Each structure stands twice: as C-alpha cells, then as structure tokens.
Chains A and B, each alone.
Chain A
Amino acid sequence: MTFDERLAAIRAGMTEHKLDALVAVHDGNHFIETPNPVFVLCRFKSLGPAAVILRGDGETNLIVTPAWDAQRAAECCPGAHVVGADDVVEALAGALGGGAQGAVGVAGLPFTRWEVASRVAAALPQASAADDIVFDAAAAKTDDEIANAREATRIAELGYRRMLEIARPGMSEDELAVELRWYTKTLGADDNFLLLCAGPRNPAVAPSNGRVMQAGDILVAEITPSYHGQLAQICRTVTLGPASDELKEKYDLLIRAMDAGILAAVPGVPMAAVCRAMNAVLEAKGYGEYCHPPHIRRRGHGLGFGSIRPGDVSLDNETVLEAGMLFMIHPNQHLPETGYLLCGEPVVLTKDGAEPLTQQRSALAEIG
C-alpha cells in the first residue's frame, strides 16, 4: 500500500460517514502506546501541538506549532498547505472558517492533553469521533513504513550488539540506557523506546534507574528505535555471568512460545489466536496462571508512532489479521523460577504468514 492509497481509503471512509472534513489533532507528546493521526495523515512528527484538516477532495491543511517549524513541515508534506502557528486551536478554527465547514469528524482527542483537546472539542461541538476512519485505514502499514520498520529493526539489532559489548557489572542501568540510546541515534534513530533493567529476578521490564548492575543479574531490554517516525522493537534477555541450566530451559520455553505465535499469525485469523498459540505452549508446561494479569497482559502490540493498529496481541483482540500489518510478537513472561524474561521480534504480515524483520532471532545471551 502506498501513502496515497491510504489517504484515498481515509477519504472513502469520510464519504461513507458523510463527512465534509476530517480534523486530526496531536499534542506533540509522542508515545509508543498512543496513536498519532497527524502522523498518519501527513507523516510529520511535530514538536508541539499540531492539527490536520483533510477535506473530501483531498485538500490538506497542516497546522504546526511552534510557528518556526513550518518550513520543516512543508518539506515533509509537500502536498499540504502548511501553516505555522503559535496557537494550534486558534489556527485550526481560522482554517475551518467558522460554521461553514459542513460535517466534521475529529480524530485524536482521546490522546491529546486537556488544554488542547478541550478547546478543539469546544470549537467543534457537532463533530463526530473519526478515529476509526483514520486508524482503520492505517491498520496495515504503507510500503515506506515497512521499509522504515526494517531499518529501525536493523538499528535495534546493532544496538543490541552494542549492549553485549558494553554492559558489565558495576555499570548503572541508566548509564547503559543512555549510551545505547545515543548509539542508536548515531545509526539514524530519531527516538528510542528503550526499556531496560537488571536484577537477579526482575518483576517486570521497567525504565532504567540508578541501580548498579551486579554479576549474576538478568538484564532485560526492549530496544525500540524509531526510524523516520516508525518504531520497531526487539526484546532480549542477557545474563551478566553464566546462565543457570534452569534459566536456559525456561528461556527455551519462551522461544518455543514465540515460534508458535509467529506460526499462528496468518492473514484471516483473529489476533487473539496468536496470543492463544503462545499461551498454549506455556500452559502445557504448567504456567497457565502466569498467562494472565497481573503477570502479563499482552503478548505483543502494534508499532507507532502513527497508527498502533492492529493493537495488542491479547485474548480480547478480535482484529482479523491482514497482509501489511506490523506488530510485535513477544511472549515476555514472568516465571516463578526466573522472574521476568524478554523474548520478542517485530513481524510484518505477508500473504504467507508472519515475517520476522530481525536477522537474528532472540536467544538467551551471556556476558562474561
């Protein structure tokens, strides 16, 4: 799918819902868990609050803050009429031209901070929610987004290799995280959702803190670079010192669960089936109770920063998989014997099934 084909699908959705204009808003607070309709419509990652007006005929207005960022926006979105503004809502109201805009749908309000969203809602009291129109059309990635995800994955794998080189007892989690984040930036990553922590028995993967890593620690890392605004993630587990036989055995179980998930991910099946396939491997070994909250809530997720569809790899996600979807498969798991372990790959769905984007799949690694 191309970007233009996606926009055509969104405009078709507008026609179906009898919308004359679609307004997308985002507050500049980019986060892996929240979608960004401005990015979906314009491929522009804003510094501050931004909005897009898409009209039925394809005319696109992009409003960006701060005003001085307009030139970058215009370079990124040559097809859009770009306005730099100090106040996105004021500029949006001006661009919509009072009450003459016809039927309007709005996307992004639930993810936007109150100071922006409340004013947009007040300015467009009759507008209907249009999140599904935008994000349904973006459930499958464009060719460019998939190419960017491949590059982000390459950067993630190089970051992981770097982690194996530099992680050592005596280094703090923060030091390691900061160095890896910087390193992936030198490789072209514009951001990195880098969850990283270590301990003899991790209760979860969490943001790094000042804890100094010790020999015998299990180091878990979600390395998630963004390349041109497209995230991709790898989930890895490393021991600082030799891994115990028990840990090796349990990690092998996760790898088998991941393999089962990858095999189950084919077009036409619901996402829940992918989760069930992974759970089945763990349940067969007596870990059924650990396949649910509070131990885990999902076994993968979509990858933004634009759309985060097809959503979580979870038992309650009935989204039917289709070619072009990009998501994580990670049977990350808390086990009573080992604590939390990470194992996961980004996959793109083809007509034949899930294709992992990594060159080297997850395996338990030992440092020192």
Chain B
Amino acid sequence: MLAMNSTLLVGPSDWDPARMPRDEFLARATALWRASPSAAGAVVYGDRTHHAELAYLTGFTPKLESALALIPRVGAPRLLVGGGPNMLQAAKPLTFIEALVPLRNVGETVAQWAREQSGGGRPVLIGGAFMPYPLRQRIDEVMAEGARSIADKTGELWTLMRRKSPRELAAIRDACATLSAALTAMDEAQRSGAGATAVVLAGEHAAHRQGAQDVRTLFSLDGGRTLRPFDTSVERAVDPLQTYVAVRRFGYWAEGFAVVTASPGQCVRGANVLLRYALEKIRPGRRCGDVGRSVVEAARPFEPHPLVTSVQGNAIGLALEEQPLITPASEDTFEPGGIYSVRVGLRDESDSAVVSAMVAVNEFGSDVLWSSAMGKV
C-alpha cells in the first residue's frame, strides 16, 4: 500500500549478521546468476523510496542519497554510495559489502567495471525503472552494445524474492508483532478519547519503541471512505477511526488495516467475516485470481470499498508491494514461502471499513501472522 515517502530514512538499518548472515546474501546472488546464466554481473540501483532489490542483494538501505551496487558473477561486490567520500563512514555499518566508494562519474565507473568482468557475458540491470531519468539514460548510453541495450532483470529477481527464507519469515514475524503493538497503542489512545492525530502518533511511537526501522500511517477523517497521510494535526476525536499502519523491522515490512473503535459498525463486522473467508481460501497452488474474485463476490450485498476494488492484496517483504498482486484477474498462484498482505473492505451508504491480514503460505496451507479480524498476533 502506498503511503507518503519520507525525505530521509532515520530508523535503525545497520546490517545484523546474526539476523541475516553474509552467506544468505551470497546465496541470493548465486540464485540470480542461475536465473540469468549469461550475466557477467549486475548493476543494482536503489534509493530511499525503492530499494528492495538493492537490500535483497546487499542489505543496504539508502537512507539519504541513492546507491548503486556493482555485483560481479565472480569476485567481490562494490557499493557506490551517494553523498561523497565523507558519507562512507556512516554507510559502512549498513551492509556486508566491504568496498564502498562514492557514487561519482557513474557512467564511466559502470562502463569500466563492466569491461573488467570476465567470461564474455554482459552485466544486467536491476531496479533500472526506479533510476532518475538522466541516470538511466546515462547507464543505457554507456552499456549499450550496438543496438542492444542493457538487459533489465528486475522481474527475474522479483521471482526469486517471492519465496522467503526462514530468516526473512522471522523478520516479518517481528514486524507483525510491532504492527500489533502499534495498533494496541492506537486502541488504547482511542479509548482514552484522544484526537485522531494523537491516536495515530501513539501507534507510531509504540512501533518506534519496539525498534521499528520505519513506520507509515494513513487514516480516515470521513468514517473510512477515504484515507490520508498525516499532513496537519487533527485534534478532534474520530470514532470509528479507519487506520493503515506499515511497520518495517530488520528491512522487512508488515502492514495492516484496522478500524479503531469501541463500537464496530456492520461494515467492520462484515469485513472481518469476509477477511476470515478470504484467509480460508489461501492455499499453496491456488490462483490469486480465484481468491480475488471470491472476495469480490462474497462482499455482496455490500459494495467493495474503493481501496480494494481492483487489488485485494499483494506479496510483501523488503518492499511494501511485491509480486504477485491478488486481483480478480491474476493468474499467479500462492506459493509456499510467500508472504502476503490480504485486504478486504466494505461500504454502504452510512458506513465503511477496510481490514487486512498478513499470511505466510507454506507447503501444507497457510499461517496467519497478523490479522485485524483477530485483533492480535
């Protein structure tokens, strides 16, 4: 779910080898080479807003300026960090990569690095769509070989990122626990009669206190019909308060929709029933489209909430929205190892609600990691 992007990321992002050892990153790169057999290496881009691919391969979260990893098929990777040589000391704890250099003369640096790669293949590009326009033009220019431009293999990497490892699942479980703490704090603040902003900020503070790397929230001032980011303080109490909270821990996201209220209306009750129905449908091998369609059909006689009309969820991990999406038209299947954010929403003339769950699919079925229908983890 898209929330407001921050101009600078400030939460704890240091690489923790006990949580995610170097070998796991190396295994990911090895899997990428298997998926791209002719690749001599990978040029991997990330910035504050889009860096799931970079984090997947390097552990690095670009808090300030963008970064570019040059990962050879054979040999040691290099990380080009924005902001000049004085920024390297601060960036060092954020990654297992030892060779950090300033992100300068990008075109020449990447071209030279590509020439140095052995084996006759050509490097591939990861995250190129997220590069600023002039940077991508420059990369395309220096990496073109005749009429052939550099191959973008972001999609292949996304496929590899779908199946979460036990360590990734552990991180997401921690994020879910923090999400739960945030919503509990919101609930307490709501019961105390706090204003809308104070309720949301109580949740954010609780998440930060648990070590959240990032917290993003949306909330509604019109009974859940529309959501908005924080842009100005709202002192008045709003009940029911439709909220969305995304919490990141150890690089991995958990997100949840919940209606914070002492007296749930019929849309909240109905949405919780619908969510349980959706969760029962999720099984390994089942098509995402089947779940999406059945949720839309089961919503009747309510209208589906506009937030969930076309998309009923998505995979989640290092990015808030990963592939596949859960939509009525999706041909993708739920796969063991996949973690999904599933959301349903209802509305009628006087009421509306969106609720959601975090689900881990395994070989035998699925585990609900967090659900607003359950209240707690």
Tell me which residues across on chain A come within 8 A of B14, comparing CB atoms: 174, 209-210
The answer for the CA separation of A111 and B131 in the assembled complex, in Å, is 10
Q: How far is the CB of A301 from chain B (nearest CB, A)?
A: 13
The answer for the CA separation of A185 and B212 in the assembled complex, in Å, is 16
User: Is A169 an interface residue when CB atoms closer than 8 A count as contact?
Assistant: no
User: Is B193 an interface residue when CB atoms closer than 8 A count as contact?
Assistant: no
User: Is B64 an interface residue when CB atoms closer than 8 A count as contact?
Assistant: yes
| Set B2, B229, B231: member contacting A228, Cβ < 8 A | B231
User: Is B103 an interface residue when CB atoms closer than 8 A count as contact?
Assistant: no
A114 touching B232 in the complex, CB below 8 Å, given contacts A31-B48, A209-B13: no
| Set B10, B47, B231: member contacting A207, Cβ < 8 A | B10
Say yes or no: B49 contacts A29, CB within 8 Å.
Answer: yes
Tally of contacts, chain A with chain B, CB under 8 A: 158
The answer for the CA separation of A232 and B307 in the assembled complex, in Å, is 34
Q: How far is the CB of B326 from chain A (nearest CB, A)?
A: 16
Number of interface residues of B (CB under 8 A): 56
Say yes or no: B84 contacts A206, CB within 8 Å.
Answer: no
Tell me which residues across on chain B come within 8 A of A207, comparing CB atoms: 8-10, 63-64, 90
Number of interface residues of A (CB under 8 A): 63
Say yes or no: A294 contacts B84, CB within 8 Å.
Answer: yes
Say yes or no: B8 contacts A29, CB within 8 Å.
Answer: no
| Set A68, A118, A190, A209: member contacting B93, Cβ < 8 A | A209
| Set B49, B132, B197: member contacting A111, Cβ < 8 A | B132
User: Is B277 an interface residue when CB atoms closer than 8 A count as contact?
Assistant: no
User: Is B128 an interface residue when CB atoms closer than 8 A count as contact?
Assistant: yes
Contact with B along A1-43 (1 / 0, CB 8 A): 0000000000000000000000000001111100000000000
A112 touching B231 in the complex, CB below 8 Å, given contacts A28-B5, A174-B10, A185-B204: no
Say yes or no: B232 contacts A179, CB within 8 Å.
Answer: no
A114 touching B131 in the complex, CB below 8 Å, given contacts A47-B3, A68-B226, A72-B228: yes
User: Is A307 an interface residue when CB atoms closer than 8 A count as contact?
Assistant: no
User: Is A186 an interface residue when CB atoms closer than 8 A count as contact?
Assistant: yes
The answer for the CA separation of A206 and B226 in the assembled complex, in Å, is 37
Contact with A along B196-213 (1 / 0, CB 8 A): 010001001100100010
Q: How far is the CB of B323 from chain A (nearest CB, A)?
A: 15
User: Is A117 an interface residue when CB atoms closer than 8 A count as contact?
Assistant: yes
Tell me which residues across on chain B come within 8 A of A178, comparing CB atoms: 10-12, 208, 212
Tell me which residues across on chain B come within 8 A of A190, comparing CB atoms: 4, 229-232
Tell me which residues across on chain A come within 8 A of B231, comparing CB atoms: 45, 190, 228-229
The answer for the CA separation of A246 and B84 in the assembled complex, in Å, is 28
Residue of B nearest to A71 (CB): B226
The answer for the CA separation of A191 and B64 in the assembled complex, in Å, is 14
Tell me which residues across on chain B come within 8 A of A29, comparing CB atoms: 5, 47-49
Q: How far is the CB of B260 from chain A (nearest CB, A)?
A: 18
User: Is A226 an interface residue when CB atoms closer than 8 A count as contact?
Assistant: yes
User: Is B350 an interface residue when CB atoms closer than 8 A count as contact?
Assistant: no
Say yes or no: A114 contacts B7, CB within 8 Å.
Answer: no
Tell me which residues across on chain A come within 8 A of B49, comparing CB atoms: 28-29
The answer for the CA separation of A211 and B93 in the assembled complex, in Å, is 9
The answer for the CA separation of A208 and B205 in the assembled complex, in Å, is 18
Say yes or no: B12 contacts A195, CB within 8 Å.
Answer: no
The answer for the CA separation of A60 and B94 in the assembled complex, in Å, is 44
Tell me which residues across on chain B come within 8 A of A206, comparing CB atoms: 64, 83, 86-87, 89-91
| Set B6, B8, B91, B128: member contacting A114, Cβ < 8 A | B128
User: Is A177 an interface residue when CB atoms closer than 8 A count as contact?
Assistant: yes
User: Is B142 an interface residue when CB atoms closer than 8 A count as contact?
Assistant: no
A195 touching B132 in the complex, CB below 8 Å, given contacts A31-B48, A204-B87: no
Say yes or no: B232 contacts A68, CB within 8 Å.
Answer: no
Residue of A nearest to B231 (CB): A190
Q: List 26 A-B contacts (CB under 8 A).
A: A31-B48, A47-B3, A48-B2, A65-B2, A68-B227, A111-B132, A111-B133, A113-B130, A114-B137, A118-B136, A172-B12, A174-B11, A177-B10, A182-B208, A186-B201, A188-B232, A191-B4, A191-B6, A194-B10, A204-B90, A206-B83, A207-B8, A207-B10, A207-B64, A226-B7, A297-B84
Chain B residues near A (Cβ < 8 Å): 2-14, 47-50, 63-64, 83-87, 89-91, 93-94, 128-137, 197, 201, 204-205, 208, 212, 226-233, 306-307, 310
Chain A residues near B (Cβ < 8 Å): 28-32, 45, 47-48, 65-69, 71-72, 86, 109-115, 117-118, 121, 172, 174-175, 177-179, 181-182, 185-186, 188, 190-197, 203-204, 206-211, 224, 226, 228-229, 231, 294, 297, 305, 334, 340
The 9 closest A-B pairs by CB, nearest first: A204-B86, A206-B90, A117-B133, A115-B129, A114-B136, A210-B14, A207-B63, A177-B10, A174-B12
